[in-house]
Each structure stands twice: as structure tokens, then as C-alpha cells.
């Protein structure tokens, strides 16, 4: 499904983040990767991002399908390092992706975070559990990308699609300023 950016296509945004939580630090320590979380957005302002993660920042075991927004990343005065990639999809692919997102939203209460797969990914393995996903499993599933097990592999796959890397706060502020003009 990965294609080069063309202006007549629909864009989706893949957001890699280096969260400032204890769990994020643990994940990065174990994986030795810069980023520990990945989300998907349909708009460049990232006001709504879709992913799998913890429902509450301080509760590492309870999680599932989540809708994220910039305030989730900008807790207090801390900023988050982020990398944003874009993919161009055909109209039909984009419509299918949106339909699948609506299914996730509708089934939100029956889908859980795949903690077992998160642990297995350290050993470069996947553990499929029906109706359970990690953030990377969700993003690669919805984008129809096979054979990617961890965030670092997805980063490598999307290396030619990076549109921004740096402060999440600065990105959101720049997008908001551009929209106000």
C-alpha cells in the first residue's frame, strides 16, 4: 500500500512519538529505539489520532483502542519528540481505511491492548490474539502493511515519507498558525 506522495491522492499521517511516560522510557530502553509509540491521523493538524495504548497514563495494564489528541502528548510543560510521515492513498483505499476505522470505533469496547505481543516483539516475534492489538499492529493492520513487527521496522519502511521530525508542540503550533492564515 505504500506509495509516493502525489497531489491527487488522499493523505494519511503516521505519527511516531517518544512519550515522556515511565512506560515509554521502559519500552525505549528495551527496544533501543528512539520512538515507543505510533498513531494514525487523517488530518495534518493531528487533532484526532487513532492508536492502541493505555487508557490512563498511570495505568500500564489497562488499554485498548484510543482516540488521541495533542493534549495527550503535551502533559504539563513537557514536549514530545515526534516523527511524522505521510502516505498517499487512492480514493478507494482511503475510503476502506476510514470504514475500518469506523469499525474499530464501533467495536472499541470489545478490543483490547495486546500486552503479550508487546512483550514478544522484544524477541522479534508476534503473538496474534483475536481483537487485540499493539499500536504497531494496529497501524500496520489498518494500512495493510505485512511483515512489520516493531516501530523501528515501520520507521525504516517510511524513511522516504518523513514530513517532519522534532518537537510535537512546535509542529502543532505551526499547523495551527498556517490554518489561521
Give the model's pLDDT for residue 7.
52
* For range 23-52, the mean pLDDT: 88
Give the model's pLDDT for residue 24.
75
Mean pLDDT of the chain: 85
Confidence class for position 122, pLDDT limits 50, 70, 90: low
Give the model's pLDDT for residue 12.
97
Give the model's pLDDT for residue 42.
97
Residue pointed to by grid coordinates 483505499: 93
Contact 46, 172 (CB under 8 A): yes
Calculate the CA dihedral of residues 59, 108, 129, 86 and round it to 10 degrees.
-90
Distance from chain centroid for Cα 178: 23
Give the model's pLDDT for residue 1.
53
Among left, alpha and beta (phi > 0; psi -120 to 50; other), residue 127 is beta
What does each C-alpha distance from 114 to 117, 135, 144 come to in angstroms?
A: 5, 9, 18
* For range 64-90, the mean pLDDT: 86
Q: Which of residues 102 and 5 earns the better pLDDT score?
A: 102
Q: pLDDT for 125-156, tens place per residue?
A: 777 788 889 899 999 999 999 888 889 999 99
- Dist. CA 72–CA 29, nearest whole Å: 22
Confidence class for position 55, pLDDT limits 50, 70, 90: confident
Give the model's pLDDT for residue 63.
84
Q: Which residues pair with 38 in a beta bridge?
A: 16
Contact 101, 24 (CB under 8 A): no
Measured from the Cβ of residue 38, the count of other Cβ atoms closer than 10 Å reads 27
Whether the pLDDT of residue 14 is over 60: the answer is yes
Q: 135-142 and 91-106 helices cross at what angle (nearest 10)?
A: 140
Amino acid at each position: 500500500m505504500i506509495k509516493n506522495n502525489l497531489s491527487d491522492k488522499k493523505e494519511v499521517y503516521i505519527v511516531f512519538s517518544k512519550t515522556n511516560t515511565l512506560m515509554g522510557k521502559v519500552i525505549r530502553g528495551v527496544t533501543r529505539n528512539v520512538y515507543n509509540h505510533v498513531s494514525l491521523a487523517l488530518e495534518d493538524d493531528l487533532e484526532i489520532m487513532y492508536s492502541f495504548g493505555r487508557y490512563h497514563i498511570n495505568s500500564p495494564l489497562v488499554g485498548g483502542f484510543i482516540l488521541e489528541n495533542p493534549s495527550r502528548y503535551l502533559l504539563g510543560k513537557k514536549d514530545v519528540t515526534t516523527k511524522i510521515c505521510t502516505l498517499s492513498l487512492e480514493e478507494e483505499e482511503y475510503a476502506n481505511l476510514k470504514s475500518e476505522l469506523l469499525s474499530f470505533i464501533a467495536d472499541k469496547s470489545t478490543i483490547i491492548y495486546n500486552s503479550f505481543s508487546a512483550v514478544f516483539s522484544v524477541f522479534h516475534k508476534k503473538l496474534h490474539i483475536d481483537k487485540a492489538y499493539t499500536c504497531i499492529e494496529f497501524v500496520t493492520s489498518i494500512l495493510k502493511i505485512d511483515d512489520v513487527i516493531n516501530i523501528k521496522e515501520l520507521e525504516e519502511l517510511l524513511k522516504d515519507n518523513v514530513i517532519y521530525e522534532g518537537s510535537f508542540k512546535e509542529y502543532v503550533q505551526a499547523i495551527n498558525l498556517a490554518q489561521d492564515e
